Structure 1
Amino acid sequence: MGIWNESKRMTAPEKTLWLFVGVTAVSFSAIFIKWSEAPAGVLGMYRLFIAMAFMIPWVWRRKKEWGNLTGRDWGWLFLSGLFLGLHFWGWISSFRYTSVASSMVLLSTGPLFAAWGARVVFRRNIGRMALFGMMLAVTGSALVAGADLQVGGTAWIGDLLSLFGAFAVSVHMLIGERLREKLSTSIYSFSVFGVAGLFLAGMNAWQEMPLFTWPAREWGIFFLLALVPTVFGHVLFNRLLRQVDAVTIQTAVLGEPVGAILLAFWLLGEPVTPVQILGCMLTVGGIAWYLRRSS
């Protein structure tokens, strides 16, 4: 597909189309996680390792790129993968303590972390009109996910884990924006997936989690998590990082709660409230406004 031709300059409609595909793919994450009984570290580890197996044919063709990396590049690559692993660990763990809705609304703070980081690291300003679109999307996402916020008990632990996951993935994306200037999609994605997967494997070993005794149903969920939200979500976003900045991608991902709510209605039979419908409209409108007004 033309999307993987890294020398091809995509048009604005093409970027928007592939952002939509990526957001749709990652929207399945919450559904698959809710179906699974495996702990966060196991889910995250296998979704990454299986995704890496899918990528081997493309990685093999570009393996010489690793030889062009400096020690500094390897350090940044390690940090990017580490923060991706922390994102998966924090966000997936949050589902064990709080509701999907609560987790999604706090994950939606990602663009704010990304915008702050882009200002500090890249000295990049966001225009007022584009910022308005971002805040509109954040408000809509809060309405979508927050219509059923869970309070009390241990919910605050899940909320903090989700917030931490939003911060971690924003750092991962900002580092990736710089690294993607010299690395192809396949090599960058394979590398950070490997670091993140090994980090989660270490967490699983430390917590003495079972790794190989899961039933066939769980292995099917691992496979779906690897193929849909990881390959067609995270890998696609990594491809877009060469032509789309991290803040824009993080803003587009605000559509994930919308997709998750709609998929939950379709696949899990969960009701959709009028407030959530309003939030969907605000989120989609805010994302469209941001993409149109941002440079």
Structure 2
Amino acid sequence: MKKSVLVLLAISVICIAFAAIFVKLSGAPASIISMYRMFFASLLLAPVVYKYRRELLKLTAREWGALIIAGLFLAMHFGFWFESLHLTSVASSTVILALQPIIAMVGAYLVYREKVSARVAVSVFVSFLGVVLISWGDFSLTDLSAITGNFLSFLGAVAVVCYFMIGQNAVRSLKHWVYSFLVFSIAGVFLLTYNIITNTELFEYPPGEWLLFVLLAIFPTIAHVIFNYLLYEVSPTTVSMAMLLEPVGASILAFFILSETLGPLQLVGGVIVLGGVYIFLKSQGRGKHVKT
């Protein structure tokens, strides 16, 4: 695997680890946080996209349809996941979100008939074992709120894998900047529609909340733009596998910023995750990538 790809993966993981922290600090509804993240991110990308504006005129009806579906799945991902963070801990929510590689493997096989080697399968399940250890003490079978939050996080994982799989085809005809701008904007429109239908307050939020909205549009969005770009180089499974590192970073940040505990199991789990990711990336470097 190219060193430039590894560097981009590292930057994206660090940036996206802040997402759960910003959401946890916010008191706004999940659908509002998600909506402004999408719209502010679109505004940040607009100056760059203007350079490639002619690409918008070349899109076919089928491509627009794929973009709309991808935007819907992205809106669902953020809506489900952000709500889960209001109901359960950062560690529990992010560890369930880390199911993405397993879901991606199944999806890639069913849709693209992408074969999975034994080495890759072992690395995925070893890494997942690690993220389970990270938040073992945070799971609750008696707290209805936590159970609901865990389920919403799982739905968010399914939605983001669908988003990535659609993106694997969509980015073939679009610059990644344009693709990101379009799906962010479309996701924002879906969330705006939801907020209007549910009569959710759109504007009356204190300055601190608006700052969090902006931060969510900057840090994690950088990660997602990088992920979209990396779909040119690697498969959705590889991107999802790298995102397994998010629970490690988020748990560490939650310890320092939110005072959430980080015990021996979390530390051991983090080492296992890193080992699994290393095995996976090494195995990908020896094989052929699906160029998208």
Match status 1:166 vs 2:157:
yes
Is the CA contact 1:24–1:256 (under 8 Å) kept in the aligned structure 2?
Answer: yes
Cα distance in 1, alignment partners of residues 10 and 136 from structure 2: 23
Q: 1:261 aligns with which of 251, 263, 280?
A: 251
Aligned residues between the structures: 284
Q: Answer yes or no: is the 8 Å Cα contact 2:97–2:153 preserved in 1.
A: yes
Counterpart for residue 119 of structure 1: 109
For 1:40, the equivalent position in structure 2 comes to 30
Q: Give the corresponding residue for 2:281.
A: 291
| Alpha-carbon distance in structure 2 between the residues aligned to 1:237 and 1:16 | 12
**CA displacement at 1:266 relative to structure 2:** 2.3
Q: Which amino acid aligns with 2:49?
A: V
Deviation at 1:155, TM superposition (A): 2.3
- 1:147 is paired with a residue whose SS is helix
Matching residue's letter, 1:29: A
Q: Aligned match of 1:247 in 204, 225, 237?
A: 237
| Offset from partner CA, 1:215-256 (integer Å, 9 cap, x none) | 0000000010000011x1111111111111111000110000
1:234 and 2:224 correspond: yes
Could you say what secondary structure the match of 2:86 adopts? coil
Following superposition, the deviation at residue 139 of structure 1 comes to 1.0
Post-superposition CA distance 1:87-106 (Å, at most 9, x none):
00111111232222221221
Structure 1 residue 208: deviation in Å?
1.1
TM-score (norm: length of structure 2): 0.94
Judge conservation of contact 1:47–1:222 (CA < 8 Å) in 2.
yes
The answer to whether the 8 Å contact 2:124/2:277 transfers is yes
Q: Which residue of 1 aligns with 2:18?
A: 28
- Matched to 1:288, the amino acid is Y
Partners of 1:95 and 1:158 within 8 A in 2: yes
Distance 1:196 1:52 in 2: 10
Aligned partners of 2:109 and 2:58: how far apart in 1? Answer: 29
Kept in 1, the 8 Å contact 2:73–2:159? The answer is yes
C-alpha separation between the residues in 1 aligned to 2:80 and 2:24? 15
**Corresponding position: 1:189 with 2:180:** yes
CA contact (8 A) 1:98 1:150 kept: no
Q: Distance in 2 between matches of 1:239 and 1:201?
A: 26
Partners of 2:15 and 2:180 in 1: how far apart?
16
Residue matched to 1:201: 192
Q: Which residue identity lines up with residue 202 of structure 1 in the other structure?
A: T
Which residue of structure 2 lines up, in the alignment, with residue 134 of structure 1? 124
Q: How far does the alpha carbon of each residue in 1:11-45 deviate from its partner, in whole angstroms, 9 at most, with x for none?
A: 62111111111011111011001110001100000
Partner of 1:223: 214
Question: Identity of counterpart residues, as a percentage?
Answer: 38
AA partner of residue 163 (structure 2): H
Q: Aligned equivalents of 1:76 and 1:94: distance in 2?
A: 27
What CA distance in whole angstroms lies between the structure 1 residues aligned with 2:239 and 2:257? 26
Q: Is 2:90–2:251's contact at 8 Å kept on the other side of the alignment?
A: no
Cα deviation for residue 154 of structure 1 reads: 2.8
Residues of 1 paired with 2:223 and 2:138: CA distance? 26
Give the C-alpha shift of residue 113 in structure 1. Answer: 1.2
Looking at structure 2, the residues matched to 292 and 219 of structure 1 have their Cα atoms a distance apart, in angstroms, of 41
Q: Deviations over 1:55-92 (max 9, x none)?
A: 11110010111222211111111111100000001111
**RMSD of the TM alignment (CA)?**
1.2
Query: What's the counterpart of residue 290 of structure 2?
Result: none
Q: Say whether the 8 Å CA contact 2:90–2:250 is kept in structure 1.
A: no
Q: Does 1:108 align with 2:83?
A: no
Task: Determine the structure 2 residue equivalent to 1:80.
Answer: 70
In structure 2, relative to structure 1, the CA distance for the partners of 1:155 and 1:264 (3 Å cut) is closer
How much does 1:148 deviate? 1.7
Indicate if the aligned counterparts of 1:147 and 1:276 stay in contact, CA closer than 8 A: no
Check the 8 A contact 2:91/2:250 in 1, yes or no: no
State TM-score, norm by structure 1: 0.93
> Of residues 52, 55, 60 in structure 1, which corresponds to 2:50?
60
Partner residue in 2 for 1:96: 86
Q: Which amino acid aligns with 2:207?
A: A
